Copies of this chain bind each other. A is one copy, B any other.
Amino acid sequence: MQRTQAMTSVQPDWETFHKMGTSQKIPYFSKDNRLYDCLFAQQLNRELLEHLFRTADTLRSVTRTKDGADHVSSLLSDKRAMLYFAQPSTRTFMSFLNAAHVLGIKTSEIRDTSTSSEVKGETPEDTVRTFSSYVDMIIMRHPAPGFVEKTAWLMNRTGRPVPIVSGGSGKDQHPTQALLDTYTLYRSFNGEVDNKHIVMVGDLKRGRTVRSLSYLMKNYRNVSLSFVSPKEFRMEADILDFLRRHNIPFTETEDFAGVMKTADAIYMTRIQDEHDKSGESKGVDYSPFYFRKEHLDIIKKTCVIMHPLPRRHEIEVTVDEDPRAVFWRQERNGMWARAALMAYIFGVDGKIA
C-alpha cells in the first residue's frame, strides 16, 4: 500500500469534524477510492459488501489446503498489527487476531489498560500514536464514544498514518459485526439477501448489532423487518426514521410466536443489562423473547437462527444441534469476513485466489 500524505490542508478541526454527518465523514477515511479506516457500518455499501463476501469465500476455500493456507499467510507477512482493546471482548478480539494470523500479519496486543503508560499520565491520543509507531494497522475497541473515530482522524493528520479498524466503539458503532451478520445472511441464502423477512428479537433499544444490521439492510431490495421486543426495549426512533426514509417496511410487536412463521432469519439478542442505569432490566420479563426447542417446529425449513453471542438463556442449548441454528457458523464467519476486510485495506484482496 502506498502511504499517502495526510490531507492536513483540507481537514477541519476535530470539534467541527466530529459534528458532521456520517456520510460527509466517509471520504476522510478513504484513500485511493478504497476504504482505509473502518469505523462506520455506513461505509459498507452493497458493492463493497459483496466484494468482501466473495473474498471471504475465496479465503475459506483456498486455505483448505496447506499450500493454499501458506500462500494466503505469505500475502501480508511484512505487516504488523496492534490489537488495542481498552474494553474486554474475547470474541471480537480472538476473531480479529486469528484473522490476522490467517493472512500472516504479525500481532501485538493490549487487552488490559492497567499495564499501559496511561498510568504515567499520558493522553489516550499519545498512547495510540505510540502504538502506530511500531505497526502497520491498529484494530481497536474503546468504550468512549467517538474515540476510535478521533484516533483515525488524528492519524490521518500525521505524516505516518496507519489504518484504524474499529472493533467496537462506544454504544453505537461496531461495523465488523454488521459485516459478519450480513455475510451470514449472504451465505445462508446462497448470496440472495434480497426479498427476505428478517426478525430481530430482544433488547433492540440497547443492542448495537441490531441497529447496525438495520442500517445495512438498505443495501438490499425488498427486505422487510420485524422488531420483537418488550415494550421497554423497543428499537430507537432514529433507526425507525432511517427505515421509513429508505422505504424499508417494518413492524413492531411483542408477539414472537406470531411473527416467526414467516421469518427467513431470526436474529436473537440478549438483554444488555450492563447498560442499566438503575437495574431496570430486572423489572422486565424477558422470557417471551427466548427461542425454545418447540419453536423449531414452527419456523420455516429454510429459516436461519442467528445470535451475535454471547448468549445467556435466549436460545436453549438443545437448539444448537438443529442445522438452522447458524450462530456458531456466524461467529466463524466473523473471522473470515474480518480477514477479507484486512486483505482489502492492505490491497492484497486481488492476490488471494
Contact = CB atoms under 8 A, between A and B. Distances in A.
Interface of A: 8, 63, 66, 69-70, 73-74, 77-78, 80, 82, 88-91, 94-95, 97-98, 101-102, 106, 108, 110-112, 114-117, 119-122, 125-127, 129-131, 133-135, 157-158, 160, 270, 274, 309-312, 317, 321, 328, 331-332, 335
A133 B184 CA distance: 14
Contacts of A309: 117, 122, 126, 130
B91 A66 contact: no
Contacts of A121: 270, 310, 312
Contacts of A321: 8, 157
Contacts of A119: 88
Contacts of A317: 125
Contacts of A73: 77-78
Contacts of A70: 74, 77-78
A328 B90 contact: no
A90 B157 CA distance: 23
A134 B335 contact: yes
A160 B328 CA distance: 10
A135 B63 contact: no
A119 B70 CA distance: 36
Contacts of A8: 321
B106 A88 contact: no
A7 to B, nearest CB: 14
Nearest to A88: B115
Contacts of A108: 94, 97-98, 101
20 contacts: A63-B78, A66-B78, A70-B74, A70-B77, A73-B78, A88-B114, A94-B130, A94-B131, A94-B134, A95-B133, A98-B106, A98-B135, A120-B274, A120-B310, A121-B310, A122-B311, A133-B328, A133-B332, A134-B332, A158-B328
A95 B117 CA distance: 13
A90 B130 contact: yes
A321 B8 CA distance: 10
Contacts of A331: 130, 133
Contacts of A125: 317
B88 A77 contact: no
Contacts of A133: 95, 328, 331-332, 335
Given A98-B106, A121-B310, 4 more contacts: A120-B310, A126-B309, A130-B331, A133-B328
A272 to B, nearest CB: 9
A208 to B, nearest CB: 14
Max chain B C-beta neighbours (<10 A), residue from A82, A127, A129, A133: A133
A106 to B, nearest CB: 4
Given A94-B131, A122-B312, A129-B328, A88 B116 contact: yes
- Counting from the closest, the 3 A-B pairs by CB-CB distance are A69-B78, A122-B310, A98-B134
Contacts of A88: 114-117, 119
Contacts of A335: 133-134
Given A106-B101, A121-B310, A90 B78 contact: no
Nearest to A273: B121
Nearest to A114: B88
